[in-house]
Chains A and B, each alone.
Chain A
């Protein structure tokens, strides 16, 4: 999956091997998309049949299209999530249309959370949340294997403890 198109260079400063999150996240996200978009669309269709009001078709169609688009992007979006453990910081890359690259220095980590919702657990996934003193930096890594999440958590908190240099 190592795509190296020219415009990716900006978000791949080291040209190194980024680690991907588990492909199982694709399924989990697809399921969630199904729930968020599928259920309202089904509801809309039912209403359309019952009430015979043509305007109900508009939001239903819009919602259905949005859902399809999101589902179509889902695969690439999950594959775009990557992380790279460097000597002093963790890089997290996300997004295809709106790209972002976050740099979280180990010495700035205040605490780490590993969370797993019911759906995550069913698929054997976990999410790692990285927290610094800046409340607005939302650095998280979804779709990790629980072992990998635990490894990262332990490694990062160890690195964080040795590199903690005040605020």
Chain B
């Protein structure tokens, strides 16, 4: 069993539930409640097979070392064995195995974790002990990851993302699927409670009670505080238009249900689509089926259940990417072409080139090939659902990942299109997510691997409903395909063509109430969306040649992630206006967060 009680704590609760809930889907009804468990010394263990999966790399290296130069090693070994006697060899191998097993056992015995009311603690290591603590109220999300080999044994890994940038993720690996589901629920619900506690008194409900909400309380950007994406529902309850950032006195439940906020979000979206006319309202009506509409005040228990997404199963998909489109999109990507070209070249060189010249192509063939393969494997079976906790993405072929992007966690979005995707109106949508370090960027920061603009709009609706409104989307569309002077956009002046002869017409920015939108790139088109309230810093820069033409560059600094926001060769005055404007909008959004938080609280 995964979580055998540690010595001295006989009644840990984890042990039974594996058998109780095969398949891991059902709610933890038979689990002891948080109160029964207490917060002291209930340590739980990982699955006993964990050391083998963790040590897999070591075994593979040892095997590879043995296989490498096998033509010499094996005869050597046989000679050596003949000399010393086979029984000694067998004994040595047996002893090694025994040592490895003992080590694995000791490692397993000494790796455990517990959840208290305030933190998640875990301890690992035999010689060098490491014991760490993650504060529950800082937890952003708990993702479930299914790597290939452990998956064959029904084991999964829980990745717990907390606020605080790179290296702050905690991995609980490996657990059985049922255990993982249980612990995920447990961590998230306790995190919700911890955040509620941290938010202070129930009086003016801090608009930040989603599990991930705390640190992102509330810029007006992607779902200001406590907004939850509600499908268009003009007849929703309590539709008095509360400004999205005001602190609405709400019921003392975990604040998802602050009715004014939710309703106002609903209203926004509804307005947007009313204006959008035919196609969009058709889209809206399909999204409308999402059962997220119930806004009536609920008990805390129900809310935690909702937070955890008990109802995910019947939530319809917001969008999914068919396998055929993933394959087609890869076939039309430059990486695949480079792979094919280098592969063909290496085959040609093998036959006609000088001896050994084919080897020179191996590195690029391997490089491009593995990139294309990793894209295929991670984009495979991509689908998204809009749940109460936020947007839930699941994807991957060998390693199946499910991530939940809570409202407000997306700091910036970029849409990219290579030349071959243009005819199909395909875009790769990536996002910078709070808490994901840059090392996760490639696989875990994809919002949609390949989307036409309608799907992209749905996806963006999933993370920031305001931006999918007709007028905002008009601007984003302009950033995707427009060129030259466009109303609403401030572009690079004609004198910039000396620096950017090819792309200067595309370079432009536009500002919506929520976000700054950059339009860039001609062959590789790119639209970048940066939420005003998420900017970390700004820079205006100018080189000597730019000064002669009165041009300047603006860099918007964001937390690490796939989205970079640098716009070059704007007219000096426009660049300064952008810098000052964004500074002011950032300030306004931060002030709103502070005002909504009230005068006393100070984390």
Contacts and interface: CB of A to CB of B under 8 A. Distances in A.
A166 B576 contact: no
Given A132-B536, A136-B557, A166-B216, A101 B586 contact: no
Contacts of A102: 537-539
Nearest to B547: A7
Contact of B537 (A7, A88, A105, A163): A105
Contacts of B214: 166
Nearest to A99: B542
A127 B540 CA distance: 22
Contact of B594 (A108, A133, A163, A167): A163
Contact of B217 (A103, A104, A166): A166
Contacts of B163: 167
Interface string A103-145: 1110110000000000000000000000011111101000000
B547 A165 contact: no
A17 interface: no
B309 interface: no
Contacts of A16: none
B76 interface: no
A10 interface: yes
B540 A108 contact: no
B557 A165 contact: no
A107 B557 contact: no
Contacts of A103: 537-539, 579, 583
Contacts of B217: 165-166
B536 A137 contact: yes
Contacts of A11: 540, 542
Interface string B567-603: 0000011011001100100110110011001000011
A139 B573 CA distance: 23
A7 B547 CA distance: 8
B579 A13 contact: yes
A164 to B, nearest CB: 7
A107 B560 contact: no
Interface string A84-103: 00001100000001111111
A133 B580 contact: no
A166 B593 contact: yes
B566 to A, nearest CB: 10
A39 interface: no
B543 A134 contact: no
Given A166-B214, A167-B216, A97 B411 contact: no
Indicate the member of A10, A108, A133, A164 with the most B CB atoms within 10 Å. Answer: A133
A162 interface: yes
Contact of B539 (A101, A108, A167): A101
A13 B557 contact: no
B58 to A, nearest CB: 32
A88 B587 contact: yes
A108 B215 contact: no
Contacts of B411: 167
Interface in A138-167: 139, 161-167
B434 interface: yes
Interface residues of A, number: 31
A99 B590 contact: no
Contacts of A97: 543-544
A155 B559 CA distance: 24
B541 interface: yes
Contacts of B576: 10, 13
Contacts of A107: 590, 594
Nearest to B166: A135
B218 interface: yes
B542 A89 contact: no
A108 to B, nearest CB: 5
Contacts of A133: 165, 536, 559
A135 to B, nearest CB: 5
Interface in B208-239: 214-219
B270 to A, nearest CB: 28
A102 B552 CA distance: 13
B543 A105 contact: no
A108 B544 contact: no
A5 to B, nearest CB: 11
A13 B552 CA distance: 14
Interface string A40-54: 000000000000000
A16 to B, nearest CB: 13
A102 B539 CA distance: 4
A75 to B, nearest CB: 18
Interface in B382-401: none
B330 to A, nearest CB: 30
Contact of A104 (B165, B537, B572, B573): B537
B510 interface: no
B558 interface: yes
B506 interface: no
A83 to B, nearest CB: 14
Contact of A165 (B166, B434, B543, B593): B593
A108 B339 CA distance: 43
A99 B533 CA distance: 26
Interface string B496-540: 000000000000000000000000000000000000011111111
A100 B539 CA distance: 7
A135 B560 contact: yes
Contacts of A136: 557, 560
Contacts of B533: 165
Contacts of B589: 165
Contacts of B594: 107, 163, 165
B552 A10 contact: yes
Nearest to A14: B580
23 contacts: A10-B542, A89-B583, A98-B542, A100-B542, A102-B537, A102-B539, A103-B538, A103-B539, A105-B583, A107-B594, A133-B536, A134-B559, A136-B557, A136-B560, A137-B537, A137-B539, A161-B602, A162-B602, A165-B590, A165-B594, A166-B215, A166-B218, A167-B163
